[in-house]
Chain A
Amino acid sequence: MSSTPKPTSSAQTSGAARLLQRQLKEMSTAKDLPGISVGLLNENNVFVWEVVLMINDDCKYYGGAYFRAHLTFPPEYPHLPPKLVFQAPVPFHPNIYASGELCISILHPPEDDKYGYETAAERWSPVQTPETILLSVISLFSEPNDESPANLDAAKLLRQDRAGESKEFRRRVRKCVRESLGED
């Protein structure tokens, strides 16, 4: 892939910046995005978004939570995917590293080999938008994926929970949900 053209010229950067500016505006004025709110972390940098996800109360494990994350776009956006990093309290979730970074297939660049088990079909495509990304993230809270886990502990406990062997997963999730609401 070394021959791949990856222009990071100022032209590309400003193209990405304009695209992001438009998408930010569209998303902040959209009315049909319940539970998602977006803004810039720093007024002068359109490449880093601050995202708040309010998880629906009906959601099995994470209902009622209020998670904050930073969505960081590369200069090559939309040809390369952004990165989503949850801020403290980091959700206890099979697909979120302790560092807060989210591991979800649609955010993996297609040519990257380290996620060999995924088919390219599930990976990043330049027609994805911040909106489609965040909707996938929300659905990941409804249905955590215990294959290819980023948090082995969480994945193990989730499997035990699903098998009815232990309630430890719920207990830890409720704790982080409480923390996300600013309690204890």
Chain B
Amino acid sequence: MPPPNTPEEGVVATNTSSILALRPSMSRDGGGDGGGGGGGGPSSAAAVDLRLLEYEDAVDENLICPICRVALVGPVITNCDHVFCHRCLVQAHALNPVCPVDRLPLKLVSETRPAPKIVQNQLDNLNVRCPNHARGCHLVVARSLVENHVTRYCDKTMVPCPHPSCEHTVVRNDVGKGCLHYDVQCEYCEGNMLKADLEIHQDQKCPNRKKDCELCSAEFVRNKQEEHMKECPEVEVSCKYAPFGCTQQMSRKMAEGHGEKCDYRVVGPVGEQLAELRSELTALQEKDRMKDRRIKFLENRGYTLPASNATEAISDISLPESSTNADMAPYESRDQYFLSLFETMESKVERLSSALAEVEGRHSMMLINETLQIKDQLTEIRSTLGVLGMHVRWLMNFRLQERGRVGAGSPAMPGSLAGNQQGTSDPNLPRRLSDTMREHPPRL
């Protein structure tokens, strides 16, 4: 498929513009020398401006011209390996003879060539909508074929009126109907127009012509079809909880009933609230950002050096180094500066004293907590000690008693301890071994 570019420009365009009134902004691509060969006849070459086409799918970044930023038309490649539409490059080169991307000097004829065939093929295969889309042709076709479709087959292409003395154009579909270029009145709105335009007027523009809906058979103004579709009770819609996961499709009038039974309705209110909160959050974040900015800005106005005229006067006073932030706006006068310094110090002192008080409070609290614990432990220890003492005393008495019962000649007692105890505690023994002690031995 040869690219649609031909060397003709301007002359042909004006001659054929009446025939080829596809769009108000018809323009032609004159990139024949770069495009690798001419297209068909002059009339067909100009029929479709590939730059105006609507692409069915997103176009790969590598196939997009860096100048006009749509899919390349008549691609050429430079010696520095940059690809442009031929026409874009010619235009750019006329203003500045360099490669638009890297700005290296560029000779248009000797340093550029048509892009490799593979690029052209990829471009040819892109799917586009028929440019007569607005007149009612909904064909989607490979880009390389769209021109053939428009010039030969599309019913909605404008062609010269079959009447020899008539200068107007007419949709190809209507060629057989003879000259339609006479004034008529629309029977619905009473507007005046050419017969040739009547059909489109009544189909798409007439404010009065009514139409019955194919789905709900309600009547609506024909050019308000889209609006009716938005409210037609028979149109298939998805469940209102679809954003939360429901995949059911049903007619609009059923949707209400389904909504009440939908499994996802529980999630609905929560989700709505969530979305609401989220949007509120972004709004607040934005606000917050602006406030932050302002606060930062206002803060920047504090603690700064005095204006240059005052620097000298106070240079003998040693200024705290932290206050010389060079990036901030200076103060109007010295007094103001010292006042602000004083205020800062005051607030610092205040902050310090409150911090001190806090620390003190914390410390005494800690002390109280600690001492209380220690006191408890002490009482505990004291009572354990008392118990232990009683045990020891009881045991001792028990021993002494036993020894007294056995008598002085007992060999069971180790000599030194027995002798020692005998010497010191024997006289007290009867008194110490009280009855209460024996009856209530201390518990362990």
Flag if B103 contacts A120 (CB, 8 Å): yes
Flag if B297 contacts A167 (CB, 8 Å): no
Which B residues touch A127, using CB under 8 A?
66-67, 100-101
Does B424 belong to the interface (CB within 8 Å)? no
Interface 1/0 per residue, B276-318 and A, CB below 8 Å: 0000000000000000011011001100010110000000000
Known contacts A11-B26, A15-B27, A120-B103; A111 and B329 CB within 8 A of each other: no
Interface 1/0 per residue, A126-168 and B, CB below 8 Å: 1100000000000000000000000000000000000000111
Stretch at the interface among B91-99, B109-117, B225-233: B91-99
Query: What CA separation (Å) do A54 and B296 show in the bound complex?
Result: 14
Interface size of B in residues (CB-CB distance below 8 Å): 36
Q: List CB contacts (< 8 Å) of B74-104 with chain A.
A: 88, 90-92, 94-96, 98, 100-101, 103
Query: What CA separation (Å) do A80 and B297 show in the bound complex?
Result: 38
Known contacts A64-B296, A79-B91; A111 and B96 CB within 8 A of each other: yes
Contact of B67 among A18, A63, A126 (CB under 8 A): A126
Does A110 belong to the interface (CB within 8 Å)? yes
Contact of A125 among B24, B103, B293, B305 (CB under 8 A): B103
Known contacts A11-B27, A166-B308, A167-B307; A174 and B329 CB within 8 A of each other: yes
Which B residues touch A18, using CB under 8 A?
52
Which A residues touch B92, using CB under 8 A?
79, 125-126
- Most chain B CB within 10 A, of A9, A11, A177, A181, is at A11
Does B327 belong to the interface (CB within 8 Å)? yes
Which B residues touch A94, using CB under 8 A?
none
Query: What CA separation (Å) do A92 and B52 show in the bound complex?
Result: 43
Query: What CA separation (Å) do A120 and B94 show in the bound complex?
Result: 14
Flag if A177 contacts B297 (CB, 8 Å): yes
Query: What CA separation (Å) do A15 and B26 show in the bound complex?
Result: 10
Which A residues touch B68, using CB under 8 A?
15, 19, 78
Which B residues touch A54, using CB under 8 A?
293
Shortest distance from the beta carbon of A16 to any chain B beta carbon, whole Å: 9
Query: What CA separation (Å) do A166 and B91 show in the bound complex?
Result: 49
Q: List CB contacts (< 8 Å) of A7-22 with chain B.
A: 7, 9-15, 18-19, 22
Does A178 belong to the interface (CB within 8 Å)? yes
Q: List 9 tightest A-B contacts by C-beta distance, closest first.
A: A11-B27, A110-B96, A14-B25, A174-B329, A127-B66, A64-B297, A126-B67, A126-B92, A127-B100
